[in-house]
Amino acid sequence: MADEIDTTRVICPLHELADPGARGFTMGQGEWPLKGFVVRQGGHVYGYVNYCPHAGFPLNWQPDQFLVPGGNTIRCVMHGALFEMETGSCLSGPCLGLGLQRLPVHVRHGYVLLDDSVPLRDPN
C-alpha cells in the first residue's frame, strides 16, 4: 500500500536520533553492504556515505560517533577533518574543498528511511 513504509530501508526511529545527533547504519546484503550515517539538526536529517574523501577511511571509530562532542559539525576521527552537517562540505582539514557523498533520506511515520533511489546490492 502507498501509506506503508519499506522496512528494509528503515535507518532508525526519529526519536532515537538526538538533536543534534548521529547514527551509523549498514544496509543491504552481500560482501559490500552500504555503510552510511545520518545526522540530525532541528527538523532536518541528512544522510552520508561513511567514507572520508581524504583517505577513504570510515569517519568514526566508535559507534554513532560522527559529531564533534557537544557540537553540530561532522568530524572524521582519522585526521580531524570537519564537515558541515547540512551539505557534507569539508570545512577544515586535509580534504578542504571536497565533501562527503550525500545519501538521500527522509522521515516518514516517525522513521528515518533511505530513499528508494539509492540502490542496494543484491547478493545474487
Binding site for ligand FES (CB under 6 A): 52, 54-55, 57, 76, 78-79, 81, 93-94
Q: Which is nearer to ligand FES, 33 or 57 (CB)?
A: 57
Closest CB to ligand FES among residues 9, 75 = 75
**Closer residue to ligand FES in complex, CB, 79/106:** 79
Least spacing, CB of residue 36 vs ligand FES, in Å: 15
What is the residue type of 70?
A: G
Strands 90-92 and 102-103, sheet pairing: unpaired
Show the CA angle centred on residue 40, arms to residues 36 and 45, nearest 5°.
70
**Residue 12: what residue type?**
C
Q: How far is the CB of 60 from ligand FES (least distance, A)?
A: 10
Q: In angstroms, how far apart are the furthest CA atoms of the chain? A: 47
Kindly state the cell numbers that stand for 102.
Answer: 550525500
Closest contact distance (angstroms) between CB of 65 and ligand FES is 14
Q: Smaller CB distance to ligand FES: residue 29 or 92? A: 92
| Minimum distance from residue 48 beta carbon to ligand FES (Å) | 13
